Each structure stands twice: as C-alpha cells, then as structure tokens.
Amino acid sequence: MRKLLAAPDETLIPLTPSLEEIRLSSTNLTTSEARILAHAIDHGQPVTISYVNRDGNPSNRTIDNIELTGRSLLAWCRLREGERWFNLNRIIAVEPADPA
C-alpha cells in the first residue's frame, strides 16, 4: 500500500478489473484513491472511506471484506458492525485504514 501512496498519479499501474470499474464509476476519487481502493479489494485489506449517503449526510467508514459488485461495494462496516452497501459514486475519498 505504501508504494501506491508514494506513486505519482501518472505512474503506470497494471489495470485490474476492479481498478477499471472503480475508475469508471467513482467520479469523485483521485487516481491514487482509486488505486488504494482497488488494492484493498484485490488484496483483502481494510480502507477508510468518506461517504455521502442518499440524504447528503457525510460519514467516515472503515470497511473490510470488500466485494465489488458492479457500481457498488458490499463490505463489512466497522462503525455499524454489519455488512453495508456503498455506491461507488458516493465515495468522496479513500485512505488506508489505521491498523485495528
């Protein structure tokens, strides 16, 4: 994950299916944030997302066991202690999660 954070946005990173879908569906994320999210999905690592729900309320969520399903994520939400769906287009930031 450190290599992803250190790499400039223009650095060529292999395009995985998850990174490709994230780049298409997550219009609010930078290239680096999309890489971090794709890496978390592909390698089973947690991330913290800034998310805006359908009512416009923002929250920060640390998520684990992330599955990419079309334009949504199904993940374990540590805040709610349960599985939750997250629309990729409502994720406004991604960062590596603090170790639990």
Q: Which domains does the chain have, with CATH numbers?
A: 16-96 (2.30.30)
3-state SS class at 11: coil
CA distance linking residue 3 with residue 74, whole number of Å: 26
Rounded alpha-carbon distances, angstroms, from residue 89 to 11, 61, 94, 99: 24, 15, 12, 26
Longest distance between any two alpha carbons in the chain, whole Å: 37
CA distance linking residue 97 with residue 77, whole number of Å: 12
Which one-letter amino acid corresponds to residue 53? N
- For residue range 28-67, what is the model confidence (pLDDT) as tens digits? 999 999 999 999 999 999 999 999 999 999 999 999 999 9
pLDDT at 14: 72
